Amino acid sequence: MKKKTLLILAGVFLLLSILAPYDSGGVYNSNALEELPAIGTMENLKTLLKESNKNQNQRFTYRGSPGIMETTMAEIGDAGSSAQNTKAAAAVDEYSATNVQVQGVDEADIVKTDGDYIYQVNNKQVMVIDVKDPKNMKIASKIIFDEAEFYPSELYVEDAYLTVIGYSSLPVRFPEPMVYDSAEPNNKVKILPEGKFRYPYYTGTVSIKVYDISDKTKVKEVREIRLEGNYLSSRMIDENLYLVANRALDYYGITERGEDGALYFKDSHLGNEIQSIGLQDIQYFPDAVAPNYITILGLDLKDLDKKANIHTYLGQGSNIYSSSENMYVAVNRYEENPEAAVSEQDFIKRDIPWYSNYTEIYKFELKDSSVIYQAKGKAPGQILNQFSMDEDRGYFRIATTTGETWRTDEFTSKNNVYIMDKQMEITGKLEGIAPTEKIYSVRFMGDKGYMVTFRQTDPFYVLDLKDPKEPKVLGYLKIPGYSDYLHPYDENYIIGFGKEVVEVKGNAFQAGMKVAVFDVRDVTSPIEKFKIEIGDRGTESPLLHDHKALLFSKEKELLAFPVTVIENRESGKNEWGQFTFQGAYIYQLDMENGFRLKVKITHLTNEDYLKAGNYWYDSEKNVNRILYIGDSLYTLSNGRIEAHKLNNMKLQGYLNLK
C-alpha cells in the first residue's frame, strides 16, 4: 500500500513539475522561468570578460578580401500599435501628448504639457510655463542646474510629479571630497583603507530627479537617483518609470588593477551613502557576454517611499521597445561563419564574409515597477531603430537587414521579418525582401506591417502578419525617394516622412523633404494618394530622426512639424541651395483634399534672415516642438514660445524665454 502511495505521489510531483510554468488556465507563467546565472565571483567575471575580449579582438582581425574589415561595434542609443499616447479619451481633445510608438506607453521628451502648464528642457534648466491664458503667458518657475553636477536631457509629467532625466559629471563610484596625490598634485585619487590609493575610473552617470509640482511656483525636489552608466532610453507606464542604461566595463581595471566589478548608485531615499550591486547580484546571459553592464531601473511614482527596483546584467543594449507589459532590449552582435575555420582558402577565393551580424533580444516583464527577465531571442540581421520591433497578441515581431548593400552576389543586403513566441522562439519568418536595399523605416500595425527600403527608389511594402507562422508580402509600390518615418493616419492610410530623390546618370541624390500619404485599402496595390515636397537638397527636419517632433491629430485634421528649408531657385534640385526658413509648417490634412498649408510659423526675425546668408545653424530661436492646448497652437524654441489661434492661426501671444 505504501509503495502504491509513493508511486502516486511521484506521479503527481512529476505532473506538477511539467505544469509548473503554466497557470490554471493553461497560460504560460513567466514567474516560473529559470533564473539567469549570477556572476558570483571576481574570478568568474575575469573569465567571462577574457573570453568576450578574445572574441571581440578576433572580429577586428583582418581576414578575407583586401579592403574589408569586420567589426563588432554596437550602436549605443538612442528611440507599434498606436501613434498617440493618451491618458484618457477626454485629454485628447483638451491638449496634445507626445507622439509615441505604443498607446499607453509614454516616452520622455524635451517638452510636455498637462493642459495648464508647459514643461520644457531648455539647456541647463527646466522651465515651468503657465499657459492658462495664451495672451499672458508667464514663467511659473525655473529649475536651474549646475552644469558641473547635472545636465537635463528629457522629462516626464505625471500628475503631481515632474521627472527629469539627465547626466551628471559627478562620479558615483568615489564620493567627494577626493584628495590630491602628493607625487602628482594635478591628479585626484581615492585613498583606500589600507593606505593605498588608486585613480578613479570615471564612468557616465545617469541621474533621475523627481519634483513635487503641486505648487508650480515652488517646485520641490523630492528624490534623486544617480546610477553608473550612459542613458539609453526610458518608458513610463501607469506612473511607473522604467529606465535603461549601459555602463562600459574597464577591462584592464578589472583584470589587472583589481577593480571590484560592482555597479554603484546613489538614491536619496536611502540616505547619502553610496550603494552597490555586487557580483553576487549581477546576472549574465550565457553565450552573450559583453564587456558592459546593462541596468534596468523601475521606479513607482505613486509611492516614492518605495524602494527602486534595480537589475544589472553583464550584457549590452542598443535599442528598446516596450509594450504595456513587456520590454525588449536589442543589441547588434556578430558571429563567425562556422565553415570559415575549415575552408579559409575557399573563403578568400570566393570573397565570402567571415562574419554575419544578428540581433539578440532580451525580454523582460514589467509589472508595478518590477522588472522580471523572461527569455532571450535571436534574429539574423541588424535592426534600424525601436520601430523595427513590435509586440502583438503575445508575439514579438522584428524587422532586420542582413548582408551588405555594396555587394552584388548572394551576400548582398536583404530585408526580413521574424515573428517569435512568448519564449522568444521563431515561429514564422519572411526573408529576402528587396535585395541590394536596406530598411529605412518600419511600422507594425496589428495584423499588418509596412516597410520602406531604399537604394535608388522607395519600395513601400505591405506585409500580412495575421498568421504568426506564415508572414507574407501582400503588395508593394515603387516610387522615387524614401521615408525615414511612417505614421498611421488610420487603418487605411499611412503617412511617410522622408526625402525626395532625383536620379542623375544612374546616381540618386537627395532633394527636398517629402511627405506622402499611402493608400493601403487595396493591400495588393498600395498607391501614393497625396504628396508634398518642401524645399530642395539640404532641407532637414528633426522629425526625420525623432518621431516625437511630430504633432498629428486626425480629429482636428492637423499635421505639424519643425523644418529648416533650403531652396535652390537657379539650378537643379540635387544642388545645394540657400537657407530660406526655419520654423513650423502647419498643415490641414484630410483624405478628400490632401495637404493644405495653413501657415508657416518662425521665431526668427527679418534681421536674422538677412544675416543668415546661405546657411543657418542650431539657433536658440529654432522651433523644435509644436503642441496644442484647447483651441491654441504653441510653437516652442529655447528662446521663445508663441501661441496662435488654431482656427485662423492668428498670433495670440508670445513669451521670450531668454
- Strands of the sheet with 578-590, listed across from one edge: 551-553, 558-567, 578-590, 594-601
Of 582 and 351, more confident: 582
368: left (phi over 0), alpha (psi -120 to 50) or beta: left
> What is the pTM for the complete model shown?
0.86
Q: Rounded CA gap, 563 and 576, in Å? A: 16
Paired strand residues for 514: 498, 533
DSSP assignment string, 428-474? EEEEEESTT-EEEEEEEETTEEEEEEESSEEEEEEEE-SSTT--EEE
**Cα Rg of the chain, angstroms:** 27
Q: Rounded CA gap, 369 and 604, in Å? A: 44
pLDDT band at residue 218 using 50, 70 and 90 as cut-offs: very high
pLDDT band at residue 201 using 50, 70 and 90 as cut-offs: low
What the block records as the C-alpha cell of 435 is 535585395
- Distance in angstroms between the alpha carbons of the first and the last residue of the chain: 89
Reference 454, options 468, 435, 475; nearest CA is 435
Q: Are 558 and 550 in contact (CB under 8 A)?
A: no
Q: What is the pLDDT of residue 418?
A: 98
Largest CA distance in the chain: 101
Residues 363-403 have pLDDT tens digits of 999 999 999 999 999 999 999 999 999 999 999 999 999 99
Burial state string for 122-133 with b = 16 or more CB within 10 A and e = fewer than 16 = beeebbbbbbee
Residues 279-330 have pLDDT tens digits of 999 999 887 788 899 999 999 999 999 999 999 999 989 999 999 999 999 9
Q: What is the pLDDT of residue 506?
A: 62
pLDDT band at residue 456 using 50, 70 and 90 as cut-offs: low
pLDDT band at residue 54 using 50, 70 and 90 as cut-offs: low
pLDDT band at residue 260 using 50, 70 and 90 as cut-offs: confident
With 70 as the cut, is the pLDDT of residue 438 above it? Answer: yes
Q: What is the pLDDT of residue 343?
A: 64
Q: Rounded CA gap, 594 and 488, in Å? A: 15
The torsion angles phi and psi of 448, rounded to 5 degrees, stand at -115, 155
Q: Rounded CA gap, 103 and 365, in Å? A: 17
- What is the DSSP-derived secondary structure letter of residue 375? E
With 80 as the cut, is the pLDDT of residue 571 above it? Answer: no
| pLDDT, mean over the chain | 85
Q: What is the pLDDT of residue 51?
A: 78
pLDDT band at residue 62 using 50, 70 and 90 as cut-offs: very low
pLDDT band at residue 577 using 50, 70 and 90 as cut-offs: confident
Q: How many CB atoms lie within 10 A of CB 52?
A: 18
pLDDT band at residue 341 using 50, 70 and 90 as cut-offs: low
Q: Rounded CA gap, 486 and 493, in Å? A: 10
pLDDT band at residue 454 using 50, 70 and 90 as cut-offs: confident
Looking at residues 616-631, what average pLDDT do you find?
96
Looking at residues 50-55, what average pLDDT do you find?
70
Q: Rounded CA gap, 77 and 320, in Å? A: 9
With 60 as the cut, is the pLDDT of residue 603 above it? Answer: yes
Whole-number percent of the chain with pLDDT over 90: 66
Judged by average pLDDT, the poorest of 148-162, 348-362, 569-583, 643-657 is 569-583
